[in-house]
Copies of this chain bind each other. A is one copy, B any other.
């Protein structure tokens, strides 16, 4: 905070407060250089005090409590840091009236930088979040049969995730992003209908109000089905995707299944400390070009998602994106979701997504599931296509 030239920072985003103070209760954190940080319990002070490792906890929901404490601490002149990419404009304007004459600067980048490097305990929590995909995979093997609708399959996935200990919500940093717990499930022609969300295999949803995720489409024999979802355990996320085929792999898809696996191999080989996010993206694009599939890599018909992955942690969409012109240098301890996909109306989509922690020598996958398209037969056995 001092290094950023700020007189103080007022942190209000629940995810940041959880990171700094260890409580998920409604609370704010005031950080003043050279002083103990102060945690303001907006409600439920007893629970806040039970949860937090911070030693200074005050009760108070509004800005007046913060202003009083800032005055008591003799906060120096200068800018106040707030999370301007998350907090509503009206809330920040309220802070401006409470702290008149102070410039308010964005501290989201500063907080994201603190959160980018995961310690061993955080990596274990994310490994545990990735283990939730075991429940998803088992559900696909048990329920993916001709005649089930996408939303019925999504229902089974939702139940399996909750039973396995999913926190029940997905945290995303972007103000207008929302995802169901059971993620985006898509099949058949819905695989190549990119709708509502990022340029990805999104599915088309149950209604025009939220046209993303599972739809009522009935899945048939020979269909491809893709599941791509965030998983949240104890606040930490994983993000994985696999494509499944019902009974048999459609003609011509084996080539794409092999290509997406090889592209992911090359992206994983490019991940190590010291390289830029852009260089990892470039490795993916080059691998797609070598295999003659750049026209359907991360989209088609000129609509291509400009990324091959992103960082992940307490939020599903942490910076950096692994994309063009992103100069962020990877460091040991970062956790990244790697997500190559080939999408085309000609066959649908084949998709992989896996999470890795950046290690001294490269990177390590957080979940051991085979990186393949799985062909599910009528008994629920799955043969991976490699």
Q: In residues 126-160 of chain A, which contact B (Cβ within 8 Å)?
A: 151-152, 154-156, 158-160
On chain B, the residues within 8 Å of A211 by CB distance are 24-25, 47, 51
- The stretch from A200-208, A288-296, A376-384 touching chain B is A200-208
On chain B, the residues within 8 Å of A314 by CB distance are 209
Q: Is A58 an interface residue (CB 8 A)?
A: no
If A88-B86, A213-B168 touch, whether A207 touches B235 (CB-CB below 8 Å) is: yes
> B168 contacts A159, CB within 8 Å?
no
How many of A's residues come within 8 Å of B, CB to CB?
Answer: 72
Cβ contacts A to B, 22 pairs, < 8 Å: A14-B176, A18-B208, A18-B209, A24-B196, A44-B194, A51-B211, A82-B89, A85-B90, A89-B91, A91-B175, A154-B168, A158-B181, A158-B182, A159-B159, A162-B214, A167-B207, A168-B181, A168-B210, A168-B214, A206-B233, A208-B235, A210-B232
With both beta carbons as reference points, the residue of chain B lying nearest to A25 in the complex is identified as B196
On chain B, the residues within 8 Å of A152 by CB distance are 162-163
> B168 contacts A162, CB within 8 Å?
no
A binding-site residues for B, Cβ under 8 Å: 12-14, 18, 22-26, 43-44, 47, 51, 82, 84-93, 104, 106, 151-152, 154-156, 158-163, 165-169, 171, 175-176, 178-182, 193-196, 199, 205-211, 213-214, 216, 232-236, 303, 314
On chain B, the residues within 8 Å of A207 by CB distance are 24, 167, 233-235
How many copies of this chain? 2
If A87-B175, A196-B25, A209-B235 touch, whether A162 touches B151 (CB-CB below 8 Å) is: yes
With both beta carbons as reference points, the residue of chain B lying nearest to A171 in the complex is identified as B178
With both beta carbons as reference points, the residue of chain B lying nearest to A108 in the complex is identified as B90
Q: Is the interface of A mostly helix, strand, loop or mixed?
A: loop
Contact of A206 among B151, B160, B167 (CB under 8 A): B167
> A169 contacts B179, CB within 8 Å?
yes
Assembly CA distance A205 to B166 (angstroms): 10
Assembly CA distance A152 to B135 (angstroms): 14
Which 9 pairs of residues, A with B, have the shortest CB-CB distance? A209-B235, A168-B180, A155-B162, A159-B159, A89-B92, A207-B234, A84-B90, A158-B158, A155-B159
